[in-house]
Amino acid sequence: MDAIRIRSLAKQYAGKRVIDHFDMTVPQGAIYGFVGKNGAGKSTVMKMTAGLAMPNDGEITVFGHAGHGTAHASGGVRRVGALIENPGLLPHMSAFDTMMAQALALGVADPKPVCRDLLDQVGLGNTGRKKTGGFSLGMKQRLGLALALVGGPDLLLLDEPLNGLDPEGARSMRNYLVRLNQQRGITIVVSSHVLDQLERMCTHYGVIANGHMVREMTAEQVQAECGDSLTVRTADTATALAILEERLPNNPAAPVRFAAEPDGSITICGGFDAAEVSRLLHDANQTVLELSAKSRDMEDYFVALMDDARTEGSR
């Protein structure tokens, strides 16, 4: 069973459709990196998945429970913990009192040790009676995560949980999320602009742009596709591209992608073999003017996907 299955989702605010024909599949047990630029729709999708906002169209299924409202809350959403945008904290309350209020609202049995343990886990066990209004942004993020874990959810929706954390704090948070996933089997959907942190923990990715899902892929697929690329320049670009598309072996796990660039070159990404490219062109009597490999990191890869989607959407 998938933890989340979304089909044809749509959401409109003030006459503007911000989510449109959106599909998303999160396998149970995954750490799913939700990637997109500001305003792409990540928070809106998470709110609808958590039952905090109603879609205008489409279906969201959480652990097999479909729909919204009371029926949805009685099934899948009760298994969901969420930290979306900013944690809702009362500035005059301590971290412990805030946790207790959440635990009592959820009907947690023997809540005091549960709340103390969760605060210890996120590094807030020694805050005492300090009011949350005096917390730093990073402390508020850690408290928000602890609140999301009250009740023992099977799914965590975390919107920019690394905001406000210094490098050591971000590393600690990342390691904690991995432990929750590996030791307790919690499925995690996490958005972040700190892509190198996502790279260290995610098993799956989804890229959103302009309210549409651009692409979903596994970490292995991302690694294969965003690694090396090959620039090919020949005397006859169109013919060379046709030859390569027809004859270059393709691995479904790391599909080869071709792009004809404005400068007349060809860019090849994915599971290609540079030696095989050279041999195919040579055997076809193509004059090769350039054959150069280069690497790009995950940030370049995702930015290119989002920019391509924006270009397609403007046509």
> Per-residue pLDDT averaged across 24-32, rounded?
97
Q: Give yes or no: residues 204 and 275 share one domain.
A: no
Domain's final residue, options 181, 197, 217: 217
| CATH code: domain of residue 67 | 3.40.50.300
Q: Give yes or no: residues 123 and 270 share one domain.
A: no
- Whole-angstrom Cα distance, residue 45 to residue 60? 10
Least confident span in 20-24, 62-66, 223-227 = 223-227
| CATH code: domain of residue 289 | 3.30.70
What's the pLDDT tens digit per position in 91-103? 999 999 999 999 9
Q: In this model, does residue 307 exceed pLDDT 70?
A: yes
Q: In this model, does residue 311 exceed pLDDT 60?
A: no
What's the pLDDT tens digit per position in 114-167? 999 999 999 999 999 999 999 998 899 999 999 999 999 999 999 999 888 888
Q: Give yes or no: residues 8 and 90 share one domain.
A: yes
Q: In this model, does residue 15 exceed pLDDT 80?
A: yes
Q: How many CB atoms lie within 10 A of CB 220?
A: 12
Q: Output the pLDDT for position 78.
A: 61
Domain's final residue, options 217, 246, 273: 217
Query: What does the H/E/C string look like for the chain?
Result: CEEEEEEEEEEEECCEEEEEEEEEEEECCCEEEEECCCCCCHHHHHHHHCCCCCCCEEEEEECCEECCHHHHHCCHHHHEEEECCCCCCCCCCEHHHHHHHHHHHHCCCCHHHHHHHHHHHCCCCCCCCCEHHHCCHHHHHHHHHHHHHCCCCCEEEEECCCCCCCHHHHHHHHHHHHHHHHHHCCEEEEECCCHHHHHCCCCEEEEEECCEEEEEEEHHHHHHHCCEEEEEEECCHHHHHHHHHHHCCCECCECCEEEECCCCCEEEECCCCHHHHHHHHHHCCCCEEEEEEEECCHHHHHHHHHHHHHHHHCC
Q: Give yes or no: residues 81 and 212 share one domain.
A: yes
Q: In this model, does residue 41 exceed pLDDT 70?
A: yes
Q: Give yes or no: residues 180 and 247 share one domain.
A: no
What's the pLDDT tens digit per position in 243-300? 999 998 877 766 788 888 889 999 988 778 889 999 999 999 999 999 998 776 788 8
Q: Give yes or no: residues 62 and 200 share one domain.
A: yes
Q: pTM of the predicted model, to two decimals?
A: 0.78
For 22, the domain range is 2-217
Q: In this model, does residue 75 exceed pLDDT 80?
A: no
Percentage of residues of the chain with pLDDT beyond 90: 65
Q: Give yes or no: residues 236 and 267 share one domain.
A: yes
Q: Output the pLDDT for position 310.
A: 60
Q: Output the pLDDT for position 156.
A: 96
Query: Residue 311: inside a domain, yes or no?
Result: no
Tally of domains in the chain? 2
Q: In this model, does residue 110 exceed pLDDT 90?
A: yes
Q: Give yes or no: residues 143 and 213 share one domain.
A: yes
Q: Give yes or no: residues 131 and 280 share one domain.
A: no
Are 201 and 161 within 8 A, CB to CB?
A: no
Query: Residue 203: inside a domain, yes or no?
Result: yes
Q: How confident is the model at residue 306 (pLDDT cuts 50, 70, 90)?
A: confident
Q: In this model, does residue 168 exceed pLDDT 80?
A: yes
Phi then psi for residue 93, to 5 deg, are -105, 150
- Greater confidence (233 vs 76) lies with 233
Domain's final residue, options 170, 185, 217: 217
